[in-house]
A and B are shown apart, each in its own frame.
Chain A
Amino acid sequence: EAGVTQSPTHLIKTRGQQATLRCSPISGHTSVYWYQQALGLGLQFLLWYDEGEERNRGNFPPRFSGRQFPNYSSELNVNALELEDSALYLCASSLTVYSNQPQHFGDGTRLSIL
């Protein structure tokens, strides 16, 4: 069974540009989560989607947005990129939101802002 896949692996942008990161969950998983992991820091929760709806949002500015598609894949968009957006962006998926299930992570997209 394929795990969570993210693309691209690396992304280099300049300040002010826009970035789009993509995530495909494990087959059968309906919930998708996005996290930011800056160098040396823990996972900071960004967004949570389930059944195509945004369920919760972390403490990030509105220029961080995303969506979930009918096939449960998801994308994260970051507009007006700033230097401090440089980080590893991790996507996770889980089986269902209504019972305790572990989140399974992809290997992330490394976003570098020049």
Chain B
Amino acid sequence: GESVGLHLPTLSVQEGDNSIINCAYSNSASDYFIWYKQESGKGPQFIIDIRSNMDKRQGQRVTVLLNKTVKHLSLQIAATQPGDSAVYFCAENKGSGGYQKVTFGTGTKLQVIP
């Protein structure tokens, strides 16, 4: 069936280093991908999105890479800060006949070591 998964459940990085969070998806028909950040006690916060006609998109300190050949998505965070500590979810979206189906990954916990 359709699934969105993450390679690593927990990622620890030193403050100031770059972080890379990976995500694999199985539905080749998915055409829209989103990364969310969820801090403790809060709802998921939209970080960045990318459509399937792109392979890279940059935001403020974040970059999302999409490799449709191997169905892989990654989130790169530059100069990781303590405030980046959170759980990060990827999500894939498949639109069909006006209906969207969004599938969320289980999440990767990012721990920033001061």
Chain A interfacial positions (CB closer than 8 Å to B)? 4, 33, 41-43, 45, 55-56, 90, 92, 97-100, 102-108
Contact = CB atoms under 8 A, between A and B. Distances in A.
B34 interface: yes
A55 B100 CA distance: 9
Interface residues of B, number: 24
Contacts of A106: 43
A100 B104 contact: no
Interface of B: 31-32, 34, 36, 41-46, 49, 51, 89, 93, 95, 98-102, 104-107
B105 A42 contact: yes
A84 to B, nearest CB: 18
A98 B98 contact: yes
B43 A100 contact: no
B102 A103 contact: yes
- Interface of chain A, main secondary structure: loop
B107 A107 contact: no
Given A42-B107, A107-B41, A102 B46 contact: yes
A56 B99 CA distance: 9
Contact of B98 (A4, A45, A90, A97): A97
When A and B form their complex, which 8 residue pairs have the shortest distance between CB atoms, in order from nearest? Answer: A105-B43, A100-B32, A42-B106, A43-B104, A107-B43, A105-B44, A102-B46, A107-B42
